[in-house]
Chains A and B, each alone.
Chain A
Amino acid sequence: MKRRRWRQPPVAVVFVLLLLAWQAGCWLLQPSPLVLPSPRMIFAELLDDPQLYLGNSWYTLSNTLAGFAMAVVIGVLLAVGIVYSRVLETLLYTPLVAMNSIPKVALAPVFILWLGTGNQSKIGMAFLIAIFAIVIDAVLGLRTVDPDMLALGRTLKGTPLKMLVKIRFPGALPAIFSGMKVGIALALVGTITGEFVAAQKGLGYVIMSAQGAFETTRVFAALLILSVIGTVLFYLLEWAERALLPWHVSHRAVSAGH
Chain B
Amino acid sequence: MDVALAAAHVSIEGLGKTYKSPRGDVVALQTLDLQLPRGAFVSLLGPSGCGKSTLLKIVSGVEAPSSGDIRIGGEVMRGPPDGLGMVFQRDVLMDWRSILDNVMLPVEFLELPRKEYRPKARELLRLFGLGDFMDRYPWELSGGMRQRAAICRALLTDPQLLLMDEPFGALDAFTRDELNLELQKTWLRTRKTVLFVTHSIPEAIFLSDRIVVMAARPGRIVEVIDVDFPRPRPLSVREEPEFARLARHIREIFEATGALGGGDVG
Contacts and interface: CB of A to CB of B under 8 A. Distances in A.
Interface stretch (B17-25, B101-109, B232-240, B242-250): B101-109
A149 B57 CA distance: 13
Interface in B82-102: 84, 86, 88, 90, 92, 94-96
Given A155-B62, A247-B95, A148 B90 contact: yes
Interface of A: 146, 148-149, 151-158, 162, 166-167, 170-171, 173, 245-249, 252, 256-258
A179 to B, nearest CB: 18
Interface string B120-160: 00000000000000001111111001000000000000000
Given A149-B94, A247-B95, 17 more contacts: A146-B92, A148-B90, A149-B92, A152-B88, A153-B109, A154-B61, A155-B61, A155-B84, A162-B109, A166-B105, A166-B109, A167-B94, A173-B96, A246-B137, A249-B95, A257-B136, A257-B142
B188 to A, nearest CB: 24
The SS class assigned to the B binding surface is loop
B202 interface: no
Interface in B26-60: 57, 60
A66 to B, nearest CB: 29
B68 interface: no
A247 B137 contact: yes
Given A151-B60, A151-B62, A154-B80, A257 B140 contact: yes
B94 A151 contact: no
B5 interface: no
Interface residues of B, number: 27
Nearest to A255: B140
Contact of B105 (A154, A156, A245): A156
A149 B91 CA distance: 9
Given A166-B105, A247-B96, A248-B95, A155 B141 contact: no
A170 B94 contact: yes
A162 B95 CA distance: 17
Given A166-B108, A170-B96, A154 B62 contact: yes
B110 interface: yes
A252 B139 contact: yes
Contacts of B62: 151, 154-155
21 contacts: A148-B88, A148-B92, A149-B92, A151-B57, A152-B86, A155-B61, A155-B80, A157-B79, A157-B80, A158-B109, A166-B108, A170-B96, A171-B94, A247-B137, A247-B138, A256-B139, A257-B140, A257-B141, A258-B141, A258-B142, A258-B145
A258 B139 CA distance: 10
A132 to B, nearest CB: 26
Contacts of A146: 92
A127 B62 CA distance: 40
Contacts of A162: 108-109
Given A151-B57, A257-B140, A258-B141, A157 B94 contact: no
